[in-house]
Chain A
Amino acid sequence: MRKQLNKEVAVFKSRMNRKRALIADTFCLTKRRRCAADSVTGESQADIRSSLQYLVTLFSRKLFNDSLPPVVLKHQLYSLHNDKTSVDKQVVRSDCNKCSTWDSVQSHFIIITLMHSEALVFSFPRQNELRETGELLMFQLGFDSEAFALVFAEDYRAKVLQGEAGRGTLGTVEKFLTKLIPSCSDLSFNKEKMLKEFLFTDSEITQLVKSGVLTVRDAGSWWLSIPNSGKFIKYFIKGRKAVLGMVKKSKYGEILQTELEGRRTTSQVKFQMKYHIHDIIGAELVECIQTTSGTLLRYVDGNVN
């Protein structure tokens, strides 16, 4: 094994390491059986939450005069975690009873080895999605059908009520939030749902739209939205375009990530550079290549942005 490593080049090595890890997995089954104590679900969920908190710190609150809760995009998590499917499963509600893939089975079971080396296998229904427990809210931003924004529920509630303070619509909005946050994880609502399930009247719905909590999607249906988020989307799209332009204009269309982080941002880029970098990596607008001098970001042709 060691001898083969000596013969390989660094870039080739990274590829082979991933493959070798998979080969090792396939062949070393006995090891996996014995050291099974790490529970996959508990660890990864804590990871997702800590990544979300890290990304929240990158969000510039002062830019919006503190009127917006910190917004993180779902694909920014992909740049921090390798396994997109598990990130999706943690964040997006999926019906665990129907999924039959082996991967979902793996995250179901926690194997506990007891004192006498017996193994008990427990099956847990997936209760730990952040959205199902009401901690996280997801929004459809509108500029891209695949870009979803994530906001912590307490932040959202605090900012919305803060924005509504003193207005007549405060009561309706508060009622909506109390109904929404603990249980619901939909991105949009249609009329029957609002009238029957939530028991809102038409005038109350108009008030909600006026306050910015709902945006019109179609005749008779509304997206859940963040009030005052128009400015956010505008700055975000401009900033993303500017950062991508920086990568594209570099020599050979590629730049080291550390160099990009150190570059001076133009007036177009209002957010922190790292926030945008996580965004373009996660949305796969640039290709991430591991080199001996760090991560290289190469512009991918064929981008619409």
Chain B
Amino acid sequence: MLSFLYARQSGLDDPVRLRRAESTRRVLSLELNHNRDVDRIHGNGINTLDIEVIDGRYMLSGGSDGVIVIYDLENNSKKPQYTCKAICTVGRSSRHVHKFSVETVQWYPHDTGMFVSSSFDKTMKVWDTETLKPAEEFQFDGNVYCHHMSPVARKHSLVAALLYSVLAVGTKDPKVQLCDLKSGSRIHILQGHRGEILSVRWSPRYDHILATASTDSRVHIWDVRRASGSLFTLDQHNGDKSKTSSEAVNTAHNGRVNGLCFTADGLHLLTTGTDDRMRLWNSATGENTLVNYGKVVNESRKGLKFTVSRGCSPEFVFVPCGSSVAVYGLHSGELITMLRGHYNNVDCCEFHPDYQELYSGGKDCNILAWVPVLRQPDIEDEETNSKRGGTHAAINPAFEDAWSSDED
């Protein structure tokens, strides 16, 4: 660490190197901290979490009971013991609350005055954060599994919502609906999937590239400026048709694909499927990079929300696996650690890039905060501190040893 500081000071190394090394060290030491807590508001499982991009201060959560809660993550009290308070909720008593489970929530990428939520009650609502009333409501004919707004878009403000709609004649026609927030209308529909679409993501690199994942084992990459179909589908065998049986040709997974995540630079795309595999793809060519993560247990019937770290080298993937969160190295594929702490299945996790913290929520109605462990002081420092009656990292008075004697 000192060598890094010296190298930065003397100009040998780029300043970002120190930042990256320290971020990586912090992510590798993520742990449940008994000082950090998040208010427990939800009465039913938590389906989705989102931390706003501008300040990283407010977090949204959506639950299976249709309730949406906003938390303040910043610690303004001078004590290390801190509970992230819920500032406001759209509870069951509100007139505009969703009737069924909220599947996805997302802050408006450019400021926190607005957020969008979509739910199984076939609506997608655009909320005004001040008044907590929906400014806009989009009605659909089918369940909305997921929606996403592009984080980089300046020219357009499209929200892609995924539907599974049943037409009048009873044919199931899964489609991706693009809705425009500025005009409040639906722009166009992307068709091409043959099964329910469980996840959608805009690319963080280009504002016209969209990826969708569905139960027909396929992942399509779309360019929304084009009138024709998808750009390409992801093929797990990279076109080598000889490896699979003929039905499985051109599929991304051997089961339902239920999770999608772009890396922070948008160059790679991660997908998870119910065949217990996670795959890393080159997002420009659609090529499978064949990184082998091993068995990534995935039994989720709905979409799985996982996340990738930002600002570290090597990058890490945080995937909910059963009742714990698995941390994998992005390009090496090795399992770094399993974060255990939830009592029931974990459904979603979100990474806070400024503090390298991870928030995860699941069916046990808890949101857990995984905080990097501070560097432990050396024993010499500890002794000198205690001699002086030093003040480092608050020891809870209940845990202080005031009864054992030194004579034993």
Contacts and interface: CB of A to CB of B under 8 A. Distances in A.
Given A3-B378, A19-B336, A83-B333, A187 B292 contact: no
Contacts of B293: 84
Contact of B289 (A26, A84, A101, A140): A101
Given A3-B378, A95-B238, A100-B282, A26 B333 contact: no
Residue among B242, B246, B299, B329 facing the most chain A CB atoms (10 A cut-off): B242
B191 interface: no
Interface centre among A18, A23, A85, A100 (most CB of B within 10 A): A85
Given A3-B378, A26-B313, A284-B295, A82 B334 contact: yes
Nearest to B329: A22
Contacts of A186: 240, 242
B366 interface: no
A65 interface: no
B376 A4 contact: yes
Contact of B242 (A19, A82, A188): A188
- Bin the interface of chain A by size: 35 or more
B21 A26 contact: yes
A302 B323 CA distance: 14
Interface in A70-116: 78, 82-85, 87-89, 92, 94-95, 98-103
Interface string A19-43: 1001100110010000000000000
B337 A19 contact: yes
Contacts of A259: none
B75 interface: no
B245 A99 contact: no
B332 A88 contact: no
Nearest to B13: A29
Interface in B315-341: 329, 331-334, 336-337
A217 B243 CA distance: 11
A189 B240 CA distance: 11
B265 to A, nearest CB: 12
A30 B280 CA distance: 30
B29 interface: yes
Contact-residue bracket for chain B: 35 or more
B390 interface: no
Contacts of A23: 24-25, 28-29
Contact of A302 (B248, B297, B331, B334): B297
A225 to B, nearest CB: 13
A19 B378 contact: no
Interface in B144-178: none
B282 A85 contact: no
A221 interface: yes
Contact of A103 (B295, B299, B331, B378): B331
Contacts of B314: 102
Interface in A217-234: 217-218, 221
Given A22-B336, A85-B332, A217-B245, A101 B291 contact: yes
A251 interface: no
B379 interface: yes
B294 interface: yes
Contacts of A145: 244-245, 248, 254
Nearest to A93: B240
A3 B379 CA distance: 8
A88 B29 contact: no
A15 interface: yes
A144 to B, nearest CB: 10
Contacts of B245: 145, 217-218
Contacts of B242: 186-189
B331 A98 contact: no
A58 to B, nearest CB: 22
Contacts of A302: 297, 299
A19 B246 contact: no
Interface of A: 3-4, 15, 18-19, 22-23, 26-27, 30, 78, 82-85, 87-89, 92, 94-95, 98-103, 140, 145-146, 186-190, 217-218, 221, 284, 302
Given A83-B334, A87-B292, A188-B243, 13 more contacts: A3-B378, A18-B337, A19-B29, A19-B336, A23-B28, A84-B293, A84-B294, A85-B292, A99-B289, A101-B280, A186-B240, A218-B246, A284-B294
